[in-house]
Structure 1
Amino acid sequence: MRRAVLGALVVTGLGLLTSAGFLVASGVHYRLQEDRGLEPGVAPVLVVGLDVGLLVLGVGVAALVALGVGALLRWPGARTRAADLPRQGSGPQTPPGRPRG
């Protein structure tokens, strides 16, 4: 479980760093075009890189959420046994181990 969480954290970090890097590169590219007197436009390579970074970030976050839900479901006492739940329409319930009457 720890390896999976560590792997998901690494993927999330890579996605975050990739997105941030391409976002900064896109801003620098835009600024250089302005300084040259050109009409600034979006560089397709930078947009694709940013999209890939966001996709990897999303996959990492989804993996972390899935691992967290899985850990909560395996937590002792997280599930209640069906026998301990009150039944609908069966009248007053008595605690387990106590005789009715």
Structure 2
Amino acid sequence: MSSLPLYFDYAATTPVDERVIRAMVECLGYQACFGNPASNSHAYGRQARRAVERAREQVAALVGASAGQIVWTSGATESNNLALKGVAQALDAPGHLITSRL
């Protein structure tokens, strides 16, 4: 039996898998691709962009999607808005989008 505590609040955060930690270390520090991936004007930005695109391709392969279908967001609110507005805009008939705090 494990001596680790039971933790059920994964809504805001989760433990990080060791493989993820190793991959993230590659993007931290001066010897890594720490640049802003939106900045193409310097090598650090281009290197970071390549790392982001490589990750996008890996996630796409994992879930059976194309890289163009993978969208990174900054958090839950942006993700929810993207999903809900995308569904609403895809509907043929105009209507209302109603949400709750639940």
User: What is the TM-score normalised by the length of structure 1?
Assistant: 0.27
> Which of the pair has the greater relative contact order for Cα pairs under 8 Å at 6+ separation?
1
Q: Work out which of the two has the higher radius of gyration on C-alpha atoms and give 1 or 2.
A: 1
| TM-score normalised per structure 2 | 0.26
Structure that is richer in helix per residue: 1
